[in-house]
Amino acid sequence: MLQLAAANLLSPPVLFFVLGFAGSLAGSKLTLPEAVAKTLSLYLMLSIGFKGGVAVAGHGLTGEMFAAIGAGVVLSALLPVAAFALLGLMSPLSRVDRAAVAAHYGSISIVTFVAASETLRSLGVDFDGYMVAIAAIMETPAILVALYLAGSNRPRQEGESLFGEVLLNSSVVVLTGAFVIGAITGEKGMAEISPFIVDPFKGILCLFLLDMGAVAARGIANGSRFLNPGLIVFGAVMPALSASAALAIAWLTGMPAGNAAILMTLAASASYIAVPAAMRLALPEANPAIYLTLSLGITFPINLVIGIPAYLALARWILP
Amino acid sequence: MLQLAAANLLSPPVLFFVLGFAGSLAGSKLTLPEAVAKTLSLYLMLSIGFKGGVAVAGHGLTGEMFAAIGAGVVLSALLPVAAFALLGLMSPLSRVDRAAVAAHYGSISIVTFVAASETLRSLGVDFDGYMVAIAAIMETPAILVALYLAGSNRPRQEGESLFGEVLLNSSVVVLTGAFVIGAITGEKGMAEISPFIVDPFKGILCLFLLDMGAVAARGIANGSRFLNPGLIVFGAVMPALSASAALAIAWLTGMPAGNAAILMTLAASASYIAVPAAMRLALPEANPAIYLTLSLGITFPINLVIGIPAYLALARWILP
Amino acid sequence: MLQLAAANLLSPPVLFFVLGFAGSLAGSKLTLPEAVAKTLSLYLMLSIGFKGGVAVAGHGLTGEMFAAIGAGVVLSALLPVAAFALLGLMSPLSRVDRAAVAAHYGSISIVTFVAASETLRSLGVDFDGYMVAIAAIMETPAILVALYLAGSNRPRQEGESLFGEVLLNSSVVVLTGAFVIGAITGEKGMAEISPFIVDPFKGILCLFLLDMGAVAARGIANGSRFLNPGLIVFGAVMPALSASAALAIAWLTGMPAGNAAILMTLAASASYIAVPAAMRLALPEANPAIYLTLSLGITFPINLVIGIPAYLALARWILP
Amino acid sequence: MKTHPKKEIRIICELPLAGRMRAHLDRAPISGYTLLPVIGGKGSEGAWSREGLVGDAGQMVIFLIILDEAELQAVLADLYAVITNQIGIITIADVEVVRPDRF
Amino acid sequence: MKTHPKKEIRIICELPLAGRMRAHLDRAPISGYTLLPVIGGKGSEGAWSREGLVGDAGQMVIFLIILDEAELQAVLADLYAVITNQIGIITIADVEVVRPDRF
Amino acid sequence: MKTHPKKEIRIICELPLAGRMRAHLDRAPISGYTLLPVIGGKGSEGAWSREGLVGDAGQMVIFLIILDEAELQAVLADLYAVITNQIGIITIADVEVVRPDRF
Ligand SMILES: Nc1ncnc2c1ncn2[C@@H]1O[C@H](COP(=O)(O)O)[C@@H](O)[C@H]1O
Ligand SMILES: Nc1ncnc2c1ncn2[C@@H]1O[C@H](COP(=O)(O)O)[C@@H](O)[C@H]1O
Ligand SMILES: Nc1ncnc2c1ncn2[C@@H]1O[C@H](COP(=O)(O)O)[C@@H](O)[C@H]1O
Ligand code: NA
Ligand code: NA
Ligand code: NA
């Protein structure tokens, strides 16, 4: 496990994240232009969606897959409740702020998923292509749960349009669409575009993580005054709790270790694209500095640097 | 032919176009940032220009090539006249609007050319590298013909500066310049930069077509109220007519089927970069919503999805 | 040597630079969007930094390396003084303007370094990975020397914050950071990300040089009225002088020809990113049109087109 | 050239809110609006910058609306309602236009 | 700090027209101008957005010109002629500047 | 809806100067500021454009500051000192706001 952690820590993606983070704290401007950051993010989703679809292409719909989907849905419905309760214990936040944070932790972070799958790949640990679909599925439900937790009594119509807006968030659509295209075109399609979506993938991930590191550090610098010790502990403890819940479900449903490590990573990760935008619309009274700083500044680095190897080690240890 | 159409329809580039189109109609924002879209477009031109130049490098200037160039020039001079006449029959547009639309259909769309050449390549159908030069040559003449058709009696000087502006449009310059550089550096140059301009090409095309699909759908959503049934039929019929004219010329000049399929695609395609900008300067009274919607929203998708395989099937069927 | 110059002149990167330059002078807009130009520049630094680090990884810190670093530091301290003196002879510039120009010529241009290393690579001439570190080290000292030459008597504190700003300039940080990451991850890291940072490198350089050519031509068009014949001669002569000084030091320290050619290129090149921004802060009275036009419009093209092959030929001729 | 007085509303608002704002503007008695980019800023919740961001949250845009003084109060009240709970700033200024009938 | 009244012309015009506009501004009795980006908008011809576009058509930019009231009419008339057939909007506003001799 | 008069300072300044400007604004008696992009322009030193540039030199940004008239002179003097040697333009205009206490 320690060896795993060291290997992860010394991999190029994590080191570029650290470079962005440390350089930014020191005062250097290491962010990418917004247009490029958005495009790289889109590229990552297109690529993992497509790869997942191709992997699924041969296999058709299996019982295992539906079990895993079920596990994802259950997690993204329950984790916000757990987060909401835990926040109530740990920090004097308003109900609305707690609900907004809970939505982030119930949803998932695609780049954390990407980092985990690269780690697994480079260690030769297999996982199923449909795990990407589960990532897509887990993006949204937590938002609805959180609105309920916030006791939101907004007019129905706005709520519905919000659900549409979230489901149609470009990250969800590209991920799902590329998955379907990958499933349709299969290995033949993969052969045609793999020099773009597979070969440079890890390098592009490095560039993107340089930016993410810089953004995370900037977020901490600007947002830390909205955090308190309780919140910071929450940002570190909640991923462990979520990953444990995912591990339990993985055990119950008999998942292989690779899939389980991915599910744990998804559970442990917190959204930084779709959910923050949705919260600004649905719960505008919630302070964005709190949830953005927690999700991007605390939980993302923890998952990237020590979470992923830990989840994998646990999954391999507990599961057959 | 049906098989060809199905293969085309299920290729990654077309599917990503469909994803962009459908997702955008459903309300998702799938466009790329402008800075990135412009760069991808430049990349495509640089790449196909260079590849065409390298292909030509060994062969020198042949009679066939000049015949093909002649065919291209003739088409781009006559197609606007045909389009102008056809529009007169089909739709109650003003003279100036008709001329502006005619300019678009006499010129060409580079991304349609790119899509066609990828289709041919993946089917193993050969075509000559100099067809890229013909694409470049066909970009501009239609503008002049259309100005004449519009009965434009603007002061000479502005017309000349306009011609300069169009000839110096970055898309024309990069295409031509990269062609010349490819011809100069030949296979040696190609070996050095093919990991950038060849290997990821099809994948980058997918990303670009995702954007084009989204832009096309947005164009239809915003511009459809400026169209009438006659115009929509025009947008579908004109490509067929242009492709037929190109097929006839290809037959007359004894072109091989691959070249003919490309020439037909060029004829059938309508400009969406250089000509719209030129029309805003030269014929400002013409309504841009009409020509942009027709070119990008109707004709481009038709060519991409069913036109290209149809032109190829026809060319193979009619020509030796 | 003539053969070398011809090979360089007919390589894709130089030809794309010429395309950008000539096309821009003719009136075409061939620049890349700023967001993309900045990202490509970052990519080039990340890539060469990483490659340099990997090359160093196996070798540890050697005496040769420290000698080369010493050579770089000495050059970047002395060259500004030489430039300042030479300008005094050749042109009636104000003291502050001379100092600002001197800072640029004492510092280095990364893209010139990149072009030189590509030339060496394609000719099979070896050079050490640590030369990248020397590039990073040579970026900053000239600024301090130039402030001294300008007789700047600004309050201490601003000077210090300036030094921080320059050392933390993202180009310096990414270059150095990627170097360290390359040194840490070594060949293993390289294997993972080389499809992104090595394979497409030369092609991306072509795209970037197209942009640089366009920017250089635009700079000349806008800035030429601030230049006089003496300054233009300076822009052509100073690189030769700097390269000669570097050659002498290389000879004194017993550098191999490849390293020497790189050191000469660094010495001959003039900054266009970090130093101009620093000069706007530190010496605002200096006219930016002068130093930007000289550095980007005169010296960069000269180095790229004839300097690099000349430095290499000289280094091979003089050194063992 | 005779010029005519109009009012200009400028709204700096969060990007995630832009869709709602557009919906309200579509129903307002105005001839159109223009959207401008913002690259950063500082307010009660600290400094922010568009650089490096992937999502819409934490970014802002500007809506510029030129309209007749007669419509100002109604439009203002409607738009104000949209951003009242959100991060955002509304300013109103006097401008002159050449073709008054276009607004 | 004493401030001095000037006029500010703001022209929102189509991007393909920018070259012509620049040519006219180069001949105008002004000290300079500033170009601002626009990301979208809505007018009589519907909504538009810069996102995803490759060509110049369908995009707009803003020219900002600060000038002396004495020159306003002449400059305005000249620039108005450029965009009269095109899509675009001109507004004039009052501003104060610190160094009046610079404009 | 009642509106209240405020002042708006707009500073077009060089990008390398933005850090210093921010530092001064952080100490100023204002509620915040907004940064806008500029894509090009022309001044006494010729035309420039952001396109294609890699470094910060040769680029500009706009700082927009809404503030109370009472603070105008002090803030103006402080900011003017920052750009006095540099390339840049300051203008002041009148605006109305809805929530006067926020500025
Ligand atoms: N006094 C001001 N002048 C200009 N822009 C401001 C000012 N105060 C706030 N802003 C802008 O409005 C945003 C939200 O401010 P706030 O509502 O104070 O959180 C900030 O991020 C700034 O972009
Ligand atoms: N009332 C308005 N306020 C601000 N911008 C407008 C207004 N009307 C039109 N525009 C802008 O001017 C462009 C052209 O409008 P139009 O001339 O009506 O087609 C639109 O796309 C908007 O960007
Ligand atoms: N009259 C003007 N109106 C608007 N912007 C101007 C004007 N004069 C100068 N500028 C802007 O201020 C920058 C610097 O001008 P200058 O200080 O004259 O070199 C220019 O590049 C323009 O962007
Ligand atoms: Na989660
Ligand atoms: Na055509
Ligand atoms: Na140098």
ipTM of the complex: 0.96
pLDDT of residue B164 exceeding 90, the answer is no
Instruction: Give kind and range of the element (H or E) at residue E96.
Output: strand E88-97
Q: Nearest CA to CA, how far is B296 from chain E (Å)?
A: 11
The percent of residues in chain B predicted with pLDDT above 70, rounded, is 97
With a 6 A CB cut-off, is D84 part of the ligand 1 pocket? Answer: no
Q: Report H helices in chain B.
A: 2-9, 12-26, 34-57, 63-90, 95-106, 110-123, 131-138, 141-149, 156-167, 170-197, 201-223, 229-252, 257-268, 274-282, 288-292, 300-302, 308-318
Centroid of ligand 4 to alpha carbon of B65 (angstroms): 61
Which residue is closest to A274 within chain D, CA to CA?
D55
With a 6 A CB cut-off, is D103 part of the ligand 2 pocket? Answer: yes
Q: What pLDDT band is residue B2 in, cutting at 50, 70 and 90?
A: confident
Q: Do D89 and F95 touch (CB under 8 A)?
A: no
Optimal mutation site among D6, D8, D9, D39, interface F, most CBs of chain F within 10 A: D39
Angle at Cα D30 formed by Cα D25 and Cα D35, nearest 5°? 55
Start-to-end CA distance of chain D, whole Å, equals 18
Which residue is closest to C168 within chain A, CA to CA?
A28
pLDDT of residue B320 exceeding 90, the answer is no
pLDDT in tens, F21-67: 999 999 999 999 999 999 999 998 889 999 999 999 989 999 999 99
* E61 three-class SS: strand
With a 6 A CB cut-off, is E39 part of the ligand 2 pocket? Answer: no
Instruction: Give bridge partners of residue F5 from the DSSP assignment.
Output: F96
pLDDT of residue B156 exceeding 50, the answer is no
> Which pLDDT value is given to residue B158?
54
Q: What does the alpha-carbon distance between residue F98 and residue C299 come to, in Å, rounded to a whole number? A: 55
With a 6 A CB cut-off, is D45 part of the ligand 1 pocket? Answer: yes
Q: Do D52 and A31 touch (CB under 8 A)?
A: yes
Q: Do F93 and E98 touch (CB under 8 A)?
A: no
With a 6 A CB cut-off, is D30 part of the ligand 1 pocket? Answer: no
Q: What does the alpha-carbon distance between residue B140 and residue B136 come to, in Å, rounded to a whole number? A: 8
Q: What is the mean predicted confidence (pLDDT) over C164-173?
A: 84
Instruction: Quote the tokens at residue B86.
Output: 């056809």
pLDDT in tens, D57-96: 989 999 999 999 999 999 999 999 998 888 889 999 999 9
> Which pLDDT value is given to residue D103?
85
Q: Mean pLDDT in each 10-residue stretch from start to end of chain A (320 residues)?
A: 84 97 95 97 96 88 90 96 96 94 97 96 94 94 92 57 77 95 96 97 97 95 90 96 98 96 98 92 92 96 96 93
Chains adjacent to F (≥3 CB pairs closer than 8 angstroms): C, D, E
Instruction: Quote the tokens at residue A79.
Output: 């984790």
- Chain A residues whose beta carbon lies within 8 Å of the beta carbon of residue C174: 19, 30, 210
- Determine which residue's CA is closest to atom 13 belonging to ligand 2: E43
Q: What pLDDT band is residue B190 in, cutting at 50, 70 and 90?
A: very high
Start-to-end CA distance of chain F, whole Å, equals 18
Least distant ligand from the CA of B295: 5
The percent of residues in chain B predicted with pLDDT above 90, rounded, is 82
CA distances from A73 to A60, B70, C9 (A): 20, 63, 61
With a 6 A CB cut-off, is F44 part of the ligand 3 pocket? Answer: yes
With a 6 A CB cut-off, is E32 part of the ligand 3 pocket? Answer: yes
Contact yes or no for C128/C269 (Cβ under 8 A): no
Helices (H) and strands (E) in chain E, counts: 2, 6
Contact yes or no for C196/A204 (Cβ under 8 A): yes
Of B36, B168, B197, nearest to C203 by CB-CB distance is B197
The answer, for B29 touching chain E at a CB cutoff of 8 Å, is yes
Give the contacts of A185 (CB within 8 A, at least 6 positions apart): A54, A57, A192, B10, B11, B12, B15
Instruction: Give bridge partners of residue C187 from the DSSP assignment.
Output: none
Instruction: Quote the tokens at residue D2.
Output: 């005779």
pLDDT in tens, D39-65: 999 998 889 999 999 999 989 999 999
> Which pLDDT value is given to residue C158?
54
The answer, for D56 touching chain E at a CB cutoff of 8 Å, is no
> Which pLDDT value is given to residue F1?
85
> Which pLDDT value is given to residue D16?
92
Q: Please give the distance of CA A88 from its chain centroid, rounded to a whole number.
A: 23
> Which pLDDT value is given to residue A58?
77
Of F6, F31, F35, nearest to D40 by CB-CB distance is F35
- Chain D residues whose beta carbon lies within 8 Å of the beta carbon of residue F31: 43-44
Centroid of ligand 4 to alpha carbon of A267 (angstroms): 4
* B122 three-class SS: helix
- Chain C residues whose beta carbon lies within 8 Å of the beta carbon of residue A47: none
Report pTM. Answer: 0.96
> Which pLDDT value is given to residue A160?
53
With a 6 A CB cut-off, is D100 part of the ligand 1 pocket? Answer: no
The position carrying tokens 């500047």 is E97
Tell which residue, D39, A85, A296, B267, has the closest CA to residue F64. D39
Neighbours of ion ligand 4 (CB under 5 A): A 108, 269
Of A51-65, A243-257, B283-297, C263-277, minimum mean pLDDT range:
A51-65
> Which pLDDT value is given to residue C6?
87
Q: What pLDDT band is residue C156 in, cutting at 50, 70 and 90?
A: very low
Q: Do B36 and A33 touch (CB under 8 A)?
A: no
CB contact burial C195-214 (16+ within 10 A = b; e otherwise): bbbbbbbbbbbbbbbbbbbb
pLDDT of residue C154 exceeding 80, the answer is no
> Which pLDDT value is given to residue C59?
79
Chains adjacent to B (≥3 CB pairs closer than 8 angstroms): A, C, E
CA distances from A152 to A108, A138, A162, F71 (A): 22, 21, 13, 41
Neighbours of ion ligand 5 (CB under 5 A): B 108, 269
Centroid of ligand 2 to alpha carbon of D65 (angstroms): 8
Which residue is closest to D88 within chain A, CA to CA?
A284
With a 6 A CB cut-off, is E12 part of the ligand 2 pocket? Answer: yes
Taking all residues of chain B, what is their mean pLDDT, rounded to a whole number? Answer: 93
Q: Do A32 and C43 touch (CB under 8 A)?
A: no
> Which pLDDT value is given to residue A14?
96
In eight-state DSSP terms, residue A307 is: I
pLDDT of residue C159 exceeding 80, the answer is no
Q: Determine the atom of ligand 2 nearest the C-alpha atom of E12.
A: 12
pLDDT in tens, F66-92: 999 999 999 999 999 998 888 889 999
Q: How many CB pairs under 8 A join D and F?
A: 60
The β-bridge relationship of strands F33-37 and E60-67 is unpaired
- Chain D residues whose beta carbon lies within 8 Å of the beta carbon of residue F32: 41-44
Centroid of ligand 6 to alpha carbon of C270 (angstroms): 5
> Which pLDDT value is given to residue B167?
79
